[in-house]
Amino acid sequence: MMAKRRSSLGFLGMFGRSSDLRQLDAALRGADLHPALVPEGVKLTIVNLMKDH
């Protein structure tokens, strides 16, 4: 059984955001919603729910 790779916010700018969070940010921009208006915890929850589904 393989563990699922979780999304990453990055750490002090040293590590980049995971690709799924970058894709979500792009989708939010496409829906005319600036990604900074959505809390990071909400973004992580959205991405993880989409992965589980």
3-state secondary structure of 17: coil
Which pLDDT tens digit goes with each residue over 1-52? 444 556 665 655 556 678 889 999 999 999 999 999 999 999 999 998 988 8
Closest of 18, 26, 24 to residue 43, by C-alpha: 24
Q: What DSSP character marks residue 27?
A: H
R_g of the chain computed on alpha carbons: 12
pTM of the model as a whole: 0.71
Q: Are 8 and 17 in contact (CB under 8 A)?
A: yes
